[in-house]
Amino acid sequence: MNPFAREIVKNHLALAGLVTVALLALVAIAAPLLAPADPDAIDADNVLASPSFHHPLGTDELGRDVASRMIFGARISLAVGFVAVGISVAIGILVGALAGFYGRWVDAAAMRFTDIMLCFPTFFLILAVIAYLTPSIWNIMIVIGVTSWMGVARLVRAEFLSLKERDFVMAARAQGIGDARIIFRHILPNAMAPVYVSAILGVAGAVLTESALSFLGLGVPPPAPSWGNILTAGKDNIEIAWWLSVFPGLAILVTVLGYNLLGEGIRDALDPRVREGRGAH
């Protein structure tokens, strides 16, 4: 077992996060096999039915099986999380790499733009943009992605400022290798460790943001199943249908907690000071 995997296994919280994330991914992939019913099937005879053998998590205001909608909702939540984070990481890497590698006016312009973006509360910026767009899952992914790249850009810039003065970069310059190849083939692979951690933590944030937008009616449009959509129905029927609030709320909590625990565990595993501290004990 390599040292990185050994550190993850030693960290019980990180291992719990890894298991949680793996189970959520399995549920999302196998949703058609795991769902007990069609998530969009309306049953007027079982409106707001409490949890039972036939409906383990009850039904909603249209008689749709909540368990099935929760399972298919995992697909949407995780898809939004991964695609949005992919977009934000790509933008953050490009901005941070150019700023850190070239410095001077490129660095000043890129970082001032990053600072301006950070001045706006991210969630309210997303709300403002979404209000002018047609609600769709792709618009949600893109908007979350293009409004959450600033942290990655700062991390990559800091790594590039340190790495571009190393001997292997100087040797590459002496051989006449172009800037693009030095950036993407020599420096970037060595600057990715903090980006991995930020990306994993970012998935949790994107899932939470998507759920909040869907809860406010600005996210994934009905009848597509989403944890936020189910929570909205729960808000409207909180006094008679507690399961519509409790189960999707727990799903969001477990998902965000799982990704946060995994991200923290990976950060500790990649930090040599943590490994040395554990070795001393």
b/e code 254-268 from CB counts within 10 Å (16+ = b): ebbebbbbbbbbbbb
pTM of the model: 0.85
Lowest model confidence (mean pLDDT) among 5-19, 142-156, 195-209: 5-19
DSSP states along the chain: --HHHHHHHH-HHHHHHHHHHHHHHHHHHTHHHH-SS-TT---GGGTTPPS-SSSTT-B-TT--BHHHHHHHHHHHHHHHHHHHHHHHHHHHHHHHHHHHHH-HHHHHHHHHHHHHHHHS-HHHHHHHHHTTS---HHHHHHHHHHTS-HHHHHHHHHHHHHHTTSHHHHHHHHTT--HHHIIIIIIGGGG-HHHHHHHHHHHHHHHHHHHHHHHTTSSSPTTS--HHHHHHHHHHTTTT-THHHHHHHHHHHHHHHHHHHHHHHHHHHH-HHHHHHHHH-
pLDDT at 72: 92
Query: Cα 173 vs. chain centroid, distance in angstroms?
Result: 37
> Residue 125 corresponds to which amino acid?
L
pLDDT-derived band at 113, boundaries 50, 70, 90: very high
Place of tokens 């005879």: 45
Place of tokens 């992605």: 145
Give the pLDDT band of residue 40 (cuts 50, 70, 90). Answer: confident
Q: What is the pLDDT of residue 275?
A: 52
Q: What is the length of the chain?
A: 281
- Give the tens place of pLDDT for each residue, 117-127: 888 887 888 88
Q: Whole-number mean pLDDT of the chain?
A: 86
What is the pLDDT, as a whole number, of residue 98?
92
pLDDT tens by residue, 240-251: 888 888 999 999
Q: Is the pLDDT of residue 20 over 90?
A: yes
> Domains in the chain, ordered, with CATH?
3-25+61-280 (1.10.3720.10)
DSSP states of 17-82 as a string?
A: HHHHHHHHHHHHHTHHHH-SS-TT---GGGTTPPS-SSSTT-B-TT--BHHHHHHHHHHHHHHHHH
Distance from C-alpha of 211 to C-alpha of 219, rounded to nearest angstrom:
8
Question: Quick check: 186 and 252 in contact, CB under 8 A?
Answer: no
**How many angstroms separate the CA atoms of 119 and 224, rounded?**
34
Residues 6+ apart with CB under 8 A from 225: 39, 40, 68, 69, 70, 72, 73, 76
What pLDDT is recorded for position 193?
84
Average pLDDT over residues 172-188: 85
